[in-house]
Structure 1
Amino acid sequence: MMLEDEHEGNGSLVGKSQQYLGEKQQANGKPVTNGKGEDSVKQEANGKCDMSRKILTMYSWQEIQRHNQEADQWLVINRKVYDVTDWAKRHPGGHRVLNHYAGEDATDVFRAMHLKLDIVKLYLEPLLIGELAPEEPSQERNKNPQLVEDFQELRRTLEAMNMFKANWMFFFLHLAQILILETLAWLMVWHFGNGWLMTIFISFLLLISQVQSFFLQHDSGHLSVFTNSKWNHLMQKFLMSHLKGLSAKWWNNQHFQHHVKTNIYPKDPDIDVGPLFLVGDLQPVKYGKKKIKFIDYEKQHLYFYMVGIPLLVPLYFNIKSIQLMYLQRCWEDIAWVSSFYIRHFIMLGPFYGIFGTILLIYGVKFLESAWMIYVTQMSHIPMKMSREENRDWFSTQVLATCNIEQSFFNDWFTGHVNFQIEHHLFPTMPRHNYHKVAPLVRSLCAKHGLPYVSKPMLEAFGDIVRALKKSAALWRDAYYET
């Protein structure tokens, strides 16, 4: 069955009445303009999709779901069907992100992960191959259409409330805090020398700077803080690679997979941590039945303290970062990461020497690792982990995440990702707005009978260990089962 579908000359994929994927607008209804850096992108994309008419084939969900392999990837966005097989290799978020949604409806995840739709939609146009047949539902039949509609209505409400508009001063002050701490550390050692007490104090300043740099990079990876995308790209490189010494491309590829398929094994790299640790209910049983015992998993909660906490950032993160930069020849990231070490050798080398400077850098990373492990894992490890169940976006994120009770200290200590549920539902939302939208999210959870978990921070810390012990018990039972 064929259908002629007319499109406007600007390459818009949706009609004016479809606000959910319509043109990005301000509250006053005027379209948002982008910086000059994006004009060339628009011109390039328009050149590729300068077509006024397209013949669209009508597809059923049964047909679409067959195209779910790496060499054959289709997905649905707002009832339109796209073949992203060739585009996946050039996708800025990494090819695996698209593959994770092959054969599925990606409307909500597409909207969640892209802030500037007017740019992204232009690149979608050449990939358009058809649309859902009129008798087909907008989502797969196993999904709750009322919940999907309610969530999309919630997002429209939040957009009307300007909840996705970033406060530049908020992020500027956080960047200023980081630069002041870095400068203060150098001035202290320059003025007072490199005694033990001074070294401890300097390490403390650098520790706070490193963690806050991570939080701010986390923001820049999701937000277009600048209207010009080139400046936003530059900010990511500066924060992750220059201030932290890690590849920004590696981080984005890993982190975006975590966001789109949270706690789904093996699509979420954050929970695919075997053979060092076994998490959730499925992975331990799998290892146990296959009689796999790389370590004594019954003691993995102790192993977590001895190995996982101290070595995640200084060892695992750095190895993975270097591996990606080397294998993919990411010369830009290599240059930025090199600048991290050059800066430290210039600032601290005259006082500590080469060996002492390296020791100080990785001593700070050792401390940072414990901080980051608790902040990132307390909201996920104790929560539901499963294989692909093809749930709707709202249910997937709510079941896989939990919040930590709000306080001034908790907000600062976690970089506001104590509102992990809101952060995962709306990744491009500025974190200073999470607390404002939390009551609305909680209300939607109550309406549809979904848990909205919020707990004290110390309880959340303890839940990490309790979850590891539970997984270890499942492995033990399967391993010793006759």
Structure 2
Amino acid sequence: MTFEEKPEGNGSLVDESQQYLGGRHQANGKPGTSGKARLSARQEANAKCGLPRKSFNRYTWQEIQRHSQETDQWLVINRKVYDVTGWADRHPGGRQVLNHCAGEDATDVFRAMHPDPDIVRLYLKPLLIGELAPEEPNQERNKNSRLVEDFQELRKTLETMNLFNANLGFFFLHLAQVLILEALAWVIVWHFGSGWLITMFISFLLTVAQVQGSFLQHDMGHRSIFKKAKWNRLMQTFVTGHLKGLSAKWWNNWHFLHHVKTNIYSKDPDISGCPLFLVGDFQPIQYGKNKIKYIDYEKQHLYFHVVWAPFFLPVYLNMESFLLMYRRRDWEDIAWVISFYIRYYITFGPFYGIYGTMLLIYFVKFLESPWITYVTQMSHIPMKMGNKENQDWFSTQVLATCNVEQSFFNDWFTGHLNFQIEHHLFPTMPCHNYHKVAPLVKSLCAKHGLPYVNKPMLKAFGDIARALKKFGALWKEAYCMHPEI
């Protein structure tokens, strides 16, 4: 049977309630669920669309799974089939996010990454080409349908409890913490001078401010804080660009890929350490069998501490951010990043000079880097890593992440990323609500026999080195056992 449907949108997957989406891709209507907002979005979509009426059919999972190439991408969301091939290049989250989900049921990942998907559904309509055949299950047959249903029911429960609503005061207090620490550092150097001891002390204060700024940036990159999308986007670019000196768009593209396909080789940039590091049970063996040896991977757990951890942020991430801004000629992000350096020169230039201020900036980033690296990697490197697995959303995130025990210090020290399981299951949930959700998630894991890993922080840090040492041993064994190719 063939159906007719008139598209009502411009093909955008943009949720205008999300602060991280580029303005040129957003609708002008007000975000939210009000009739006025919906009407405004619909009017703009219709004005821009002008697309012909299209027919759509019913498809089997076998047919859909064939459309998983970069030049041919279909997605399934709530049993509806969408052809997103033509939209991929304009997707604000990056084309790779869509490509990684092509040929799959993307219902849960779509819902997870959009705080308010109602507006987005208006823009999905031009991409609609059909629906699943009535005899087809809601998800691919390799997925645990009962687990998927239970997880979706859990999400509805959390929405009813209003746990996805952000506490504006919490985020302003977090921002105030960052600004107060930076102001205190300036007052100290202004009053006591720029001696070595004072410089070390203010470097510590600025490092804490930068780390907490990273956690704030992370939170604001996932969810809507304000009702108006333009204020959300302004706040995130202010924190990421002006307070951190990084490109907001680069961070969004990088981080969305990490969330969509966590711990999947070639899809999650957070585990793409090759050729410096080999991770997981698969990658080291493949490198060993093929006699690939860029470094002595048997000692990679040592390199991680002395090379990767301190230089990850000031060298690698900064270089990636600058390169993306340059390639895209992203003048808005460039202006925000320049304002970060101008602010430092105005604040500390009179005491340290131009070169001294530059050294201060990168010394602070050098101190910040291990803190951020350990906090972000302790929940992923020791966990399961896969190749091209297509599991349900709940299983994928639970198996690829772990938590660190809750305490006031742990919550502050990690920016609530000690609740990594809950964060990955519900990326748009405000971090101050993770602890309320954790018991429900743990109960669902127990019901379906999935491990809910919760560690002391020191053990979690130690597991990074232990895991890297184990992966290095796997590489060494495969390298020595197989003859030269």
Residue in 2 that maps onto 1:207: 207
Question: Structure 1's 305 and 8: CA in aligned 2 closer, same or farther, altered over 3 A?
Answer: closer
Give CA deviations for 1:146-181 in whole Å, capped at 9, x if unaligned. 010000000000000001000110111101111111
Deviating beyond 2 angstroms after TM superposition, the runs of 4 or more aligned structure 1 residues are 3-9, 31-43, 46-56
Q: Is the 8 A contact 1:423 1:429 kept in 2?
A: yes
Shift of 1:46: 3.9
3-state SS in 1 of match to 2:271: coil
Shift of 1:287: 1.1
Residue in 2 that maps onto 1:123: 123
3-state SS in 2 of match to 1:62: helix
Residue in 1 that maps onto 2:280: 280
Give CA deviations for 1:247-286 in whole Å, capped at 9, x if unaligned. 1111111100000000011100100110011111111111
Distance 2:282 2:323 in 1: 29
- In the alignment, does 2:339 pair up with 1:339? yes
Shift of 1:295: 0.7
3-state SS in 2 of match to 1:480: helix
Q: Is the 8 A contact 2:51 2:126 kept in 1?
A: no
Residue in 1 that maps onto 2:466: 466
Distance 2:195 2:37 in 1: 48
Q: Is the 8 A contact 1:37 1:230 kept in 2?
A: no
Residue in 1 that maps onto 2:260: 260
Q: Is the 8 A contact 2:8 2:45 kept in 1?
A: no
| Paired residue type of 1:312 | F
Residue in 1 that maps onto 2:17: none
- In the alignment, does 2:477 pair up with 1:480? no
3-state SS in 2 of match to 1:406: coil
| Paired residue type of 1:425 | L
| Paired residue type of 2:280 | G
Shift of 1:322: 0.9
3-state SS in 2 of match to 1:75: strand
Shift of 1:3: 3.1
Give CA deviations for 1:286-342 in whole Å, capped at 9, x if unaligned. 111111111111111111111011100000011101111111111111111111111
3-state SS in 2 of match to 1:202: helix
Q: Is the 8 A contact 2:8 2:123 kept in 1?
A: no
Residue in 2 that maps onto 1:444: 444
Instruction: Report the count of equivalent residues.
Output: 463
- In the alignment, does 2:319 pair up with 1:319? yes
Q: Is the 8 A contact 1:241 1:247 kept in 2?
A: yes
Distance 2:271 2:318 in 1: 18
Residue in 2 that maps onto 1:430: 430
| Paired residue type of 1:391 | Q
Give CA deviations for 1:422-452 in whole Å, capped at 9, x if unaligned. 0000000000100001000000000000000
Distance 1:220 1:37 in 2: 22
Q: Is the 8 A contact 1:182 1:206 kept in 2?
A: yes
- Superposed counterparts of 1:349-428, under 5 Å: 349-428=349-428
Distance 1:181 1:41 in 2: 41
Question: Structure 1's 56 and 36: CA in aligned 2 closer, same or farther, altered over 3 A?
Answer: closer
Residue in 1 that maps onto 2:43: 43
Residue in 2 that maps onto 1:457: 457
- Superposed counterparts of 1:17-56, under 5 Å: 32-33=32-33, 41-48=41-48, 55-56=55-56
Q: Is the 8 A contact 2:32 2:116 kept in 1?
A: no
Q: Is the 8 A contact 1:34 1:227 kept in 2?
A: no
Residue in 2 that maps onto 1:188: 188
Distance 2:322 2:35 in 1: 33
Distance 2:432 2:464 in 1: 26
Shift of 1:208: 0.9
Q: Is the 8 A contact 2:7 2:125 kept in 1?
A: no
Gap regions ≥5 residues in structure 2? 14-30
Distance 1:440 1:131 in 2: 32
Distance 1:401 1:39 in 2: 40
| Identical-residue share of aligned pairs (%) | 74
Question: Structure 1's 162 and 46: CA in aligned 2 closer, same or farther, altered over 3 A?
Answer: farther
Q: What is the TM-score with the length of structure 1 in the denominator?
A: 0.92
3-state SS in 1 of match to 2:104: coil
Residue in 2 that maps onto 1:169: 169
3-state SS in 1 of match to 2:73: strand
Q: Is the 8 A contact 1:49 1:122 kept in 2?
A: no
Distance 1:78 1:170 in 2: 34
Q: What is the TM-score with the length of structure 2 in the denominator?
A: 0.92
Give CA deviations for 1:40-61 in whole Å, capped at 9, x if unaligned. 5443224356899863211111
Residue in 2 that maps onto 1:305: 305
| Paired residue type of 1:141 | R
Distance 1:411 1:65 in 2: 41
Q: Is the 8 A contact 1:403 1:454 kept in 2?
A: yes
3-state SS in 1 of match to 2:101: coil
Question: Structure 1's 449 and 58: CA in aligned 2 closer, same or farther, altered over 3 A?
Answer: same
Question: Structure 1's 225 and 286: CA in aligned 2 closer, same or farther, altered over 3 A?
Answer: same
| Paired residue type of 1:157 | T
Residue in 2 that maps onto 1:68: 68
Gap regions ≥5 residues in structure 1? 14-30
3-state SS in 1 of match to 2:352: helix
RMSD: 2.1
Higher deviation after alignment, 304-313 or 54-63 = 54-63
Question: Structure 1's 51 and 149: CA in aligned 2 closer, same or farther, altered over 3 A?
Answer: farther
Distance 1:374 1:8 in 2: 46
Residue in 2 that maps onto 1:146: 146
Residue in 2 that maps onto 1:27: none
| Paired residue type of 2:315 | L
- Superposed counterparts of 1:100-115, under 5 Å: 100-115=100-115
